[in-house]
Amino acid sequence: MRDRLDRLWCDEDFTDWYPRDGRRGLSPAQLATVCVLQFLLGLSDQQAAEAVRCHIDSKYAMAMELDDPGFHHSLLADFRDHLAEGDRADRLLDHALARLKEAGLMRERTTQRTDSTHVLAAVRDLTRLELITEAVPASPKEVAATAPHLLDELVDEDWGASLRPAGPPGQEPHQPKTRILATANDAVRLLEHLYRHGTGRTPGPRVKALRQIMVQNYHHDAAGHLRWRTAEKENGPGLPPSSQAIVSPYDTTARYARHGHIIS
């Protein structure tokens, strides 16, 4: 961007941020660029100021002379205080986007590449069993908020006990197979009940997610009994690919991604 644009911002973009009198300070356009680099590299204020003072690539990004002494790190905190006022951050972003489009680095109505962007889903790292035991109580909670009468003939003392959190398998390693089958039976009972009594009613996203999670994690054997899915290499029926597997009943669009040896 430095080669094509010269810079993302110019000092004229900050004319209403500072008083017109007084001693001339460091270029606010340069401070804004430092904040971007600081965020991308995960640097503290002191580390960012040190990088500007010592690194040639940082000086180049901000169009600074090689012998420029830099600035004190406290200026970054002052700059962020100014940036937080009103809609200044949004206006700066608009300026940057407009210049990127003018330079041909962005185009409207196209899909931007995100290869170098870390897109994180707000989900816990759940095992498959934890996923099932979390998805089953999430569905009646959703139904209770919109149509509680559908649960009248379903929820009883035994059902309430089955929905009580049992703790992750790592903390309760005993009888995992019992939990797998008991949770599956609870899920089937819930889905069949809602199917019978919710005729003409569109199921909510968590009920839909529970049905998909059941299909992805269980299968019927030759006798018609529910069985836990295993990988094909273990002579099992197979598991869904990571691009389709649901990893959270609360965020069905979240997916595990693999980049080299890193899984996120």
pLDDT digits (tens, 9 = 90+) for 83-105: 888 788 888 888 888 878 877 77
Look at the pTM and tell me if it is higher than 0.75: no
- Give the model's pLDDT for residue 186: 87
pLDDT band at 173 (very low <50, low <70, confident <90, very high): very low
Share of the chain above pLDDT 70, in %: 76
Structure token digits, residue 183: 């949770």
Q: Are 20 and 106 in contact (CB under 8 A)?
A: no
Determine the pLDDT at residue 15. Answer: 74
Q: Let me know how many helices (H) and strands (E) the chain has, helices first.
A: 10, 4
Burial of 181 (0-12, 13-18, 19+ CB in 10 A): middle
Does position 155 have pLDDT exceeding 60, yes or no?
A: yes
Cα(104)–Cα(12) distance, integer angstroms: 22
Both structure tokens of 60: 């180049």
Mean residue pLDDT across the chain: 77
Most confidently modeled range among 6-10, 205-209, 255-259: 205-209
Where does 147-204 have alpha helices with state H? Answer: 157-163, 176-197
Residue 260: which of 115, 112, 43, 114 has the closest Cα? 115
Whose tokens are 């890193």? That residue is 262
The Cβ of residue 99 has, within 10 Å, a number of other Cβ atoms equal to 19
What three-state secondary structure class fits 139?
helix
DSSP helix/strand/coil, 227: strand
For the chain, the domains span 2-102, 128-263
Residue 26, classed as helix, strand or coil, is: coil
- Indicate the DSSP class of residue 256: -
